[in-house]
Chain A
Amino acid sequence: TQLLEQSPQFLSIQEGENLTVYCNSSSVFSSLQWYRQEPGEGPVLLVTVVTGGEVKKLKRLTFQFGDARKDSSLHITAAQTGDTGLYLCMKAYYNQGGKLIFGQGTELSVKP
């Protein structure tokens, strides 16, 4: 089964703290995306990583794709209350007709 494991599942931190969310798979995949979902809304795309070892930054968010293209991490520096939400990673298999698999999600709560 081509699972995508995300950790931690829940994270509650104070404003200003740093955090890292991990997304791991046993198989290589074509690309990986990170999404954030706020209550009552659909997930919104944050970033796409394609190349092994790739690092992308989006303001205080840093995304890394593992060298072997089997894992990824999302690091948030100096978290703010606006970062609260459900973070989801998704992998795509281009050579399997666009098979898409989401991780279980990380619920982040940033308290003032």
Chain B
Amino acid sequence: DTAVSQTPKYLVTQMGNDKSIKCEQNLGHDTMYWYKQDSKKFLKIMFSYNNKELIINETVPNRFSPKSPDKAHLNLHINSLELGDSAVYFCASSHGGITYEQYFGPGTRLTVT
């Protein structure tokens, strides 16, 4: 029944490692997003995919690479993790239109030590 799901919920890793976060939505939406929420709770869009095509790519280090195997999945791979990457990462989906209403996953708390 879960609309937007993410795994894992928590991720603790050391600097320099490579990690992935997976996201799946069963809402039939065409557009999916990745957001980063920092320690001050500010939510910033990182990427947006529409039907497996990248449409928004904000100023994000190229160590972050999104991959969309199909329109229901959008994964985030992070290379060479740094301390500053510690944050909560949210996946979201939207049906588009003119309002872009976002349906968020539960988040993945990434801690880099």
Contacts and interface: CB of A to CB of B under 8 A. Distances in A.
B and A form one assembly: yes
Contacts of A105: 41-43
Interface residues of B, number: 25
Interface string B91-113: 01000101111111111000000
Interface in A59-110: 86, 88, 90, 92, 94, 97-102, 104-105, 107
B55 A41 contact: no
A98 B42 contact: no
B45 interface: yes
Contact of A42 (B31, B40, B92, B96): B92
A80 B31 CA distance: 35
B107 A31 contact: no
**Interface footprint category on A:** 20 to 34
A43 interface: yes
Interface on chain A toward B: helix, strand, loop, or mixed SS?
strand
B10 to A, nearest CB: 10
A100 B48 CA distance: 10
B100 A31 contact: yes
A42 B104 CA distance: 5
A105 to B, nearest CB: 5
Given A30-B98, A100-B56, 14 more contacts: A35-B102, A37-B41, A40-B107, A41-B107, A42-B106, A45-B101, A86-B41, A90-B102, A92-B98, A94-B100, A98-B56, A98-B96, A100-B100, A104-B42
Interface of B: 4, 31, 33, 40-45, 48, 55-56, 90, 92, 96, 98-107
